[in-house]
Structure 1
Amino acid sequence: MNANEQLRSLIKSHRSIRRFQSKVVPQSIIDDLVECARWAPSSHNVQSYSIICIRNQQTKEKLDKLCGNQSYISQCPVFFVFVMDFYRHAVISSAYQTSFEIEETENLLIGSVDTALVAENFLLSARSHGLGGVMIGGIRNEAEEVAKLLKLPKWTLPIMGMCVGYPDQHPWQKPRITKSSIYHEEYYQTDNLNVDLAKYEHITEDYYTNRTNGKKTDGWGKQMSVYFSKVRRAKLTKFIKDQGFSLK
């Protein structure tokens, strides 16, 4: 298998790993993951992110609870928090005595995309070292408390966490939505969407039924309908505004 095939295989073999060996992740590997993350694309080269590495067990246990009692956070060898970060830009603007027009919604989008791209580079690089991981959106459940715990300054937001370590499991790979549902040529096409979604519903119903021995049978569509029927992270908007993003 050549390098291109290896890369494509790595990308397409993604699985979320939530159980890890007790083996320590060497600092040399973490340094390489950060270096690879640094070269992710960035709009206008803004580079509006920071990465916080957490090994302290007490801190991981607190984050475990703040993220909705996700025990793999406290059990993983090392946990990372990917932070949307415009604090550096505020410092620069002050140094050059220019106005700091950070409140626009566009900047929130730029920072979120920057941070997500960095996190994906980081995870792919981790997997190339034989590590596994899982991204944790629950880091936003209690974003204000996370910010206090990690001493985040104004103009920063925790976007996602990531458990990293040597895998101690090989979970089933969840089937992805059909290509015809997400790929469009020339314009957004909806003619076959209902048919495509029905196919995917059957695929995912079979997947969950087999994976759980019948304990869970709902397909992707049913799960999404339940997911989006509930209000989530209602406090997040206020925290975002308190951090300096008024969403103009």
Structure 2
Amino acid sequence: MNDVIKTILNHRSIRKFEDKALTDEQIQVIVQSAQAASTSSFIQAYSIIGVKDKEKKLKLAELAGGQKYVAENGHFFVFCADLHRHQLIAGQYNHDASEVLESTEKFMVAVIDAALAAQNAVLAAESIGLGAVYIGGLRNQLSEVSSLLKTPAHVLPVFGIAVGYPAQQPDQKQRLPLEHVYHEDEYQQDQTRYINQLKEYDEQISEYYEQRTNGERKDTWTGQMAGLLSKPTRMYMKEFVEKKGFNKR
């Protein structure tokens, strides 16, 4: 097993960091690694906003639901789906690109590009001894986040990543069984087998929480998912995404 695979398989979310800023060189390496990710048709439909300003980080932490590690880290990156530069390019060439830029396809391309770049960034950070955690909570109040970061039309913040020197080493959460995720030739639909795999996985996750919390938590993964699916969240998203010029067609 090589070092890259070891780094990937050693991943865990870090939510407590040392009070030590990343260097400009580290930031540059992480961003360059993000840029090396695959991109659909070479469109490069994303941008990254690095947040150093302490007041802005505190505000983002508040907007993300009071997650203090959004403010307390070595550096905070916001990954954005970005078709703004493509809108400008269309103007330079006197093209009306609204039908293309507002399509669901290009919205998917931009979000996927941002996600691919972000995963490269996290892997790069972890490979040099740093830790990271994704922050989807920025989508709780995207209008306020967009205003704070001054993102124009066709630029949509989709998530953040807090990066820094780990001040904790949490246990890894066991992922779903490989057989539950990987299908060959076609999607396997044996429901009995599927449910039995989930039961086995629930036992593993329940044991993980019980050990991690000294018996205070024993919840299962399916129980968590059922709870999540019972409470609609961020239902404003479709309207806001369209307002920013995405996914209108």
So what's the TM-score if we normalise by structure 2? 0.96
1:54-203, aligned counterparts within 5 Å? 54-100=51-97, 101-191=100-190, 192-203=193-204
Deviation at 1:78, TM superposition (A): 1.3
Unpaired runs of at least 5, structure 1: none
Q: Identify which of 24, 38, 48 aligns with 1:51.
A: 48
2:17: which partner in 1? 20
1:229: which partner in 2? 230
Contact conserved, 2:107 with 2:247, CA < 8 A, in 1? no
Matched position secondary structure for 2:2? helix
Distance 1:71 1:153 in 2: 27
Matched position secondary structure for 2:187? coil
Q: Identify which of 29, 35, 38 aligns with 1:41.
A: 38
- The answer to which of 143-152 and 205-214 deviates more is 205-214
Distance 2:224 2:118 in 1: 26
Structure 1 counterpart of 2:198, one-letter code: L
Matched position secondary structure for 2:15? coil
Runs of 4+ in 1 over 4 A off after TM superposition: none
Deviation at 1:247, TM superposition (A): 3.2
Structure 1 counterpart of 2:214, one-letter code: N
Are residues 1:247 and 2:248 paired? yes
Q: How many residues align?
A: 245
Distance 1:74 1:194 in 2: 40
Q: Deviations over 1:27-56 (max 9, x none)?
A: 011111111111100111110000011111
Aligned-residue sequence identity (percent) comes to 39
Q: CA RMSD in A?
A: 1.0
Distance 1:233 1:214 in 2: 32
Distance 1:238 1:111 in 2: 18
Distance 1:133 1:202 in 2: 27
Deviation at 1:246, TM superposition (A): 4.2
Matched position secondary structure for 1:140? helix
Q: Deviations over 1:70-122 (max 9, x none)?
A: 01111112111001100000000000011212111111111110000000000
